[in-house]
């Protein structure tokens, strides 16, 4: 009985522990759950009534604007990952600056001193990457990985030493790693605003030079432009934005503000000037919206929300961008595929009648009535799927290019014959060019012609006409396959 009583008491105690643990766990969740803002709180944030909210939101927006502008040139220069190495290289500079200020003044928490240390080591990190790239056989990704890991490891080690110093208070230094936007003060926002003005000013003044260096550095050097100095100056602006952004989003996430906005803007335009301003707008919008959401929901860190907002803009741009978005590209490819199917059907039907009626014959219409192919014959000419074949046939009939000769046979309308002749002419001109100028055998030329003929424009066709004038008679070019066969028979 004593044993049973002990077991019963133990079971009761275990149950009480589980219940209390469950209550504590649910209470912990309740403390950290997201609280949706009321209408009054939403209005206060939208109208920027609170001083701290104004400072944080405007500062984050200006940081996003500056990062988006200079990040455009960084992306086009194909140095996106360099910003990652650069941001991680700032950590040992922050730790050393703190330790030095503690040794001299007894207090290491001077923002300008910490920023100066970060700037020095970010320049050293950038120089280290370029030194490895130029004077070793290592690839760019290996150089970036080495510098990033070495400097970041050094920074973590120095941070450990800083926290163990007897004098000085190292608390808060970790905010440079993860960011602490909510603690931004007016001086921080003023510093970010000054950096944004500097970036805007120099992006406008050196727009032509930065563009030339980004797209063709070799040509710029051949024209006498100081490519090395321009490159260094461009990276100096990246350093400024990176160092200023450490306090807001941290060295881990600041790279996102430099890369995501220009990457999103790339999907909306093909013009660099438009991309530059779109990137700045996306960066500013990410900062404003992300900081605003964080102000409304206290448990969400602002730096992470800013980056997530930028990521959402990127996903929307990737999907719906008017220049390179997936939806636009998908529609264009679909239209091209349908156009290719229609033109191939016109060409096959033309060549069918050409072998039987000689399409220049005045009696062509009567010949069509006697030799018009049906669906099975047309379907057997190419590896069409039945669905694509039926769709192309319906579209050509709706466009007035094909007509029914009988219940299941088809022929050309006058407009359709002219369109088919134009399609066949393009195909044969391109085939003739490949055979006579690219030394491609007639038996291997069909595939190359089928890939290109559907995108030849009028200017290129006129150029082909001029190039091939001496090698072919006027009028419709003869099929190179028939010409090769006749030469073999001779």
Whether 164 and 256 share a structural domain: yes
pLDDT (tens digit, 9 = 90+) per residue, 390-413?
888 888 889 888 888 877 788 888
Whether 245 and 372 share a structural domain: no
pLDDT (tens digit, 9 = 90+) per residue, 254-270?
888 889 999 999 999 98
Whether 220 and 285 share a structural domain: yes
- Answer whether 0.85 is exceeded by the pTM: no
Whether 296 and 187 share a structural domain: yes
Total tally of structural domains belonging to the chain: 2
Whether 80 and 183 share a structural domain: yes
Asked, for residue 33, whether it belongs to a domain, the answer is: no
Whether 170 and 295 share a structural domain: yes
Whether 47 and 97 share a structural domain: yes
Asked, for residue 455, whether it belongs to a domain, the answer is: yes
Lowest mean pLDDT: which of 41-55, 280-294, 445-459?
A: 445-459
Asked, for residue 465, whether it belongs to a domain, the answer is: yes
Whether 387 and 283 share a structural domain: no
Whether 379 and 292 share a structural domain: no
Domain that holds residue 339: 332-489
Whether 340 and 205 share a structural domain: no
User: What pLDDT is attached to residue 433?
Assistant: 74
Asked, for residue 238, whether it belongs to a domain, the answer is: yes
Residues facing 402 on adjacent strands: 412
pLDDT (tens digit, 9 = 90+) per residue, 12-55?
444 543 444 444 444 444 445 556 767 777 777 677 778 778 88
Asked, for residue 13, whether it belongs to a domain, the answer is: no
What CATH number did the domain enclosing 182 receive?
1.10.3470.10
Domain boundary among 324, 347, 378: 324
Domain boundary among 292, 324, 356: 324
User: What pLDDT is attached to residue 283?
Assistant: 93
Rounded CA-CA distance 429/466 in Å is 11
Asked, for residue 3, whether it belongs to a domain, the answer is: no
Whether 276 and 296 share a structural domain: yes
Whether 316 and 336 share a structural domain: no
């Amino acid at each position: 009985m004593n044993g049973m009583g002990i077991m019963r008491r133990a079971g009761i105690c275990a149950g009480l522990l589980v219940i209390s643990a469950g209550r504590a766990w649910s209470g912990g969740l309740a403390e950290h759950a997201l609280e949706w803002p009321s209408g009054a709180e939403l209005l206060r944030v939208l109208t920027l009534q609170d001083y701290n909210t104004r400072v944080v939101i405007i500062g984050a927006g200006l940081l996003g604007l500056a990062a988006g502008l200079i990040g455009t040139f960084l992306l086009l220069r194909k140095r996106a990952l360099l910003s990652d190495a650069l941001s991680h290289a700032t950590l040992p500079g922050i730790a050393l600056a703190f330790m030095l200020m503690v040794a001299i003044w007894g207090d290491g928490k001077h923002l300008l001193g910490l920023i100066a240390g970060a700037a020095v080591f970010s320049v050293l990190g950038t120089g280290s990457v370029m030194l490895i790239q130029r004077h070793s056989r290592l690839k760019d990704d290996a150089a970036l990985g080495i510098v990033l890991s070495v400097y970041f490891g050094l920074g973590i080690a120095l941070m450990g030493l800083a926290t163990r110093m007897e004098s000085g208070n190292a608390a808060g230094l970790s905010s440079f790693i993860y960011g602490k936007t909510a603690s931004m003060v007016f001086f921080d926002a003023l510093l970010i605003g000054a950096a944004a003005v500097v970036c805007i000013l120099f992006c406008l003044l050196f727009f032509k030079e930065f563009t030339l260096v980004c797209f063709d550095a070799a040509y710029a050097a051949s024209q006498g432009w100081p490519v090395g100095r321009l490159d260094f100056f461009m990276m100096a602006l990246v350093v400024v934005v990176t160092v200023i952004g450490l306090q807001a989003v941290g060295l881990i996430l600041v790279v996102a503000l430099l890369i995501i906005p220009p990457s999103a803007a790339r999907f909306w335009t093909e013009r660099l000037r438009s991309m530059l301003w779109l990137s700045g707008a996306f960066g500013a919008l990410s900062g404003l919206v992300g900081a605003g959401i964080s102000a409304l929901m206290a448990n969400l860190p602002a730096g992470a929300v800013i980056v997530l907002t930028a990521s959402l803009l990127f996903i929307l741009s990737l999907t719906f961008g008017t220049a390179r978005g997936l939806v636009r590209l998908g529609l264009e490819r679909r239209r091209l595929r349908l156009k290719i199917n229609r033109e191939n059907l016109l060409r096959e039907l033309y060549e069918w009648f050409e072998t039987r009626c000689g399409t220049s014959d005045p009696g062509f219409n009567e010949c069509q009535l006697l030799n018009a192919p049906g669906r099975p014959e047309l379907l057997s000419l190419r590896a069409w799927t039945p669905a694509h074949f039926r769709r192309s046939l319906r579209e050509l009939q709706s466009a007035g290019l094909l007509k029914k000769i009988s219940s299941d046979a088809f022929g050309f309308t006058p407009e359709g014959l002219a369109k088919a002749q134009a399609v066949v002419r393009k195909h044969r001109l391109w085939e003739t060019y490949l055979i006579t100028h690219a030394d491609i055998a007639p038996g291997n030329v069909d595939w190359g012609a089928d890939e290109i003929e559907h995108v030849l424009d009028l200017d290129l066709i006129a150029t082909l006409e001029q190039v091939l004038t001496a090698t072919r008679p006027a009028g419709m070019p003869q099929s190179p396959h028939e010409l090769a066969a006749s030469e073999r028979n001779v």
